[in-house]
Amino acid sequence: MRVVAGERPLSVTELEKLCTAFLKLSGIREQNSRELYIDALNGELTTPLFFARHPDPQHDVWSLLRACQEHSGGIRRLTAIVRAFHRDSRPMAELDELVECLFPDEFLLPDERVELLKLLGHIDPQWLPAALRYAGPPSLLTVALDWTDPVTVVRRLEACVVVAGRPPPLLVFVDFLAHQVDAVRSAEHHRWLDQVGDRVELATSGLRDLCVAATARLDQAQQHYFVVQLQPDGVDPTSYLLSVWLQHHRTIEEPLHRDDTPLTLAEIVERLPDLLSQAHSAAGVGGGELILEFILPRSLIGQPVDQWQVDRVFPHRIGTSHPVVVRSLDRLQKRELHNEWQRKWRWLTVHGHREDPDAIYWLHHQGVRPPALRAGLLRGVPPVALAMAFPPEDKHELIADELTAALYAGMPIVLWCRNALLRQRFEREIRETLTGRGLTELPSQVLRMRREADEVEESEPLGRHLTLLWDDADRIPESFTHARLKAPQPHRHRQA
């Protein structure tokens, strides 16, 4: 028996979240278009809506949603109507996810659900939210429910929309847990997955990919990040404010250092060894287990930070001791760029462990019109990586060039060669490096190339001229996630 949308009453908290999600749509906030939607909805219902009207949008939408709940499928029908006017917008996608969570359909057969709940009964309930965060859409955990309750978790995951080309989120969830239990329990989970996968006609290769992706994600969960952010001073263009923090996977950042006095690059490089030593002690990890991320403004994005010399006793290039990547400060600050970025990053987390030639867009020469490049990068998912055989222009702020086109297209990975004289070797050697490998191995492979560069006698090895922009959309620093508060603007209420 399928759950019929509209029969389950929403709690005040759930209704508040739904109301907030609807009000993010401009057509819902504006009274004339809201009346248009209500008229369209009344045309689909057996009996028209009857509800108290209010002059302000929030109270009016609240009253509208409560009236919709009295009609079977009312909220889903209203959602479908407004989707026709807000298709492909981020607020609409968030609303769709929330509605799917609040009004679930059944994915499993009754016997399959009983068996799954029995398997989950042997798992520590505190593991469930982490697995849910891995498998479900971002909005799922925003609903105020007990996410340590297996019944709640299963019901909500059953309701999630299955994206074309991806396995059902519920199966991703079960497989993720299967890799964290003992061998006997793991075999039981995988037998259940095989049975359900066979019924829903999920290819065997799809189930195998689930296992590989879960293993890779669990490996990532062990990673520690040493993050260096350089903020332009605003007065002296040669000085920067230094902030450093340590982060274990997706946990809250642990501040290590922050300067209120601007520093030159030379002074920053001089401080790095001591800060790295603090990070190793705090994290309890060795050198190779710490990933170094430099959050840089456009004015520094071309800096060879991986070649900075560290260690007073045995000076060496920092990029030969640690995986070193850069991140874009400009993109982190521009929240309107995050939607495409997160969409492509989600693809990378699911498919990035396997070789896929279509995942990389190769750019051999400058001169491509940036709007055309952005359009090409947005044509689909993939590509998720841009490989440039030349460095971006040295500019103090974002300009309409290849790198900015990649940022605006949401590319989480941009790899370029800082020495244009090596452009012929760049594509050949990077292709050889990734043969049989997925993009998720790129940071470790670039580390290998940087180390090998110290072994050869040639004057310009490629490993000394590679910059890897690796922007993890799941790890946006907390300082960039807080919405800036704006002063309320006066407005007139229109009477209904």
**pLDDT at residue number 426:** 96
Contact 471, 338 (CB under 8 A): no
pLDDT tens-digit profile of 221-258? 567 899 999 999 988 989 999 999 998 866 778 899 99
**361 and 462: one domain?**
yes
Assigned domain for 6 exists: no
Judge whether residue 177 has pLDDT over 70. yes
Assigned domain for 244 exists: yes
How does residue 496 score in pLDDT terms, banded at 50, 70 and 90?
very low
pLDDT tens-digit profile of 464-484? 999 999 999 988 988 887 544
**pLDDT at residue number 493:** 41
Assigned domain for 61 exists: yes
**pLDDT at residue number 489:** 42
**96 and 125: one domain?**
no
Last residue of a domain, one of 220, 235, 258: 220
Distance CA 194, CA 480 (A): 41
Q: Is the pTM above the cut of 0.95?
A: no
Judge whether residue 393 has pLDDT over 70. yes
Peptide bond between residue 57 and the one before it cis (omega within 30 degrees of 0): no
Average pLDDT, rounded, for the chain = 86
**204 and 232: one domain?**
no
Assigned domain for 404 exists: yes
**205 and 262: one domain?**
no
Lowest mean pLDDT among 54-58, 332-336, 380-384: 380-384
Name the residue type at position 231.
Q
Judge whether residue 77 has pLDDT over 60. yes
**164 and 296: one domain?**
no
Assigned domain for 484 exists: no
pLDDT tens-digit profile of 418-428? 998 899 899 99
Assigned domain for 495 exists: no
Mean pLDDT value across residues 429-447: 94
Domain that holds residue 126: 110-220
**418 and 446: one domain?**
yes
**397 and 361: one domain?**
yes
**pLDDT at residue number 485:** 38
Assigned domain for 63 exists: yes
**409 and 375: one domain?**
yes
State residue 231 phi and psi, 5-degree precision.
Answer: -105, 125
**323 and 446: one domain?**
yes
**421 and 283: one domain?**
yes
How does residue 486 score in pLDDT terms, banded at 50, 70 and 90?
very low
**151 and 256: one domain?**
no
**pLDDT at residue number 451:** 95
Last residue of a domain, one of 161, 188, 220: 220
Judge whether residue 85 has pLDDT over 90. yes
Number of domains within the chain: 3
Assigned domain for 485 exists: no
Last residue of a domain, one of 163, 194, 220: 220
**187 and 154: one domain?**
yes
**pLDDT at residue number 484:** 44
